[in-house]
């Protein structure tokens, strides 16, 4: 079978043919998303103190000096 160079290499094929692009994508994609996920998690962390929660939920006996 005769090989021809007239056929156009598609973008996808170019990506899949280059292991360094694959490596970069493989590191960048999860890197960006996990970083974003981590930032979101930090922002949704609850800053309420346990003692404030206990006072608000009427569990005063657990507080310092509480009975």
CB atoms within 10 A of CB 64: 5
Is residue 49 close enough to count as binding another protein by CB under 8 A?
A: yes
Answer for which of 13, 25, 35, 38 binds another protein (CB under 8 A) is: 13
SS3 67: coil
Does residue number 18 form part of the binding site for another protein (CB under 8 A)? no
Pick the binder of another protein from 4, 19, 42, 43 (CB under 8 A). 4
The answer to whether 22 and 15 have CB atoms below 8 angstroms apart is yes
- Interacting residue with another protein among 15, 24, 46, 55 (CB under 8 A): 46
């Amino acid at each position: 079978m005769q090989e021809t160079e007239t056929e156009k290499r598609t973008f996808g094929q170019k990506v899949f043919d280059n292991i360094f692009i694959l490596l970069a994508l493989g590191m960048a994609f999860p890197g960006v998303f996990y970083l974003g996920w981590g930032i979101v998690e930090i922002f949704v962390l609850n800053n309420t103190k346990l003692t404030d929660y206990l006072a608000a939920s009427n569990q005063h006996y657990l507080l310092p000096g509480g009975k």
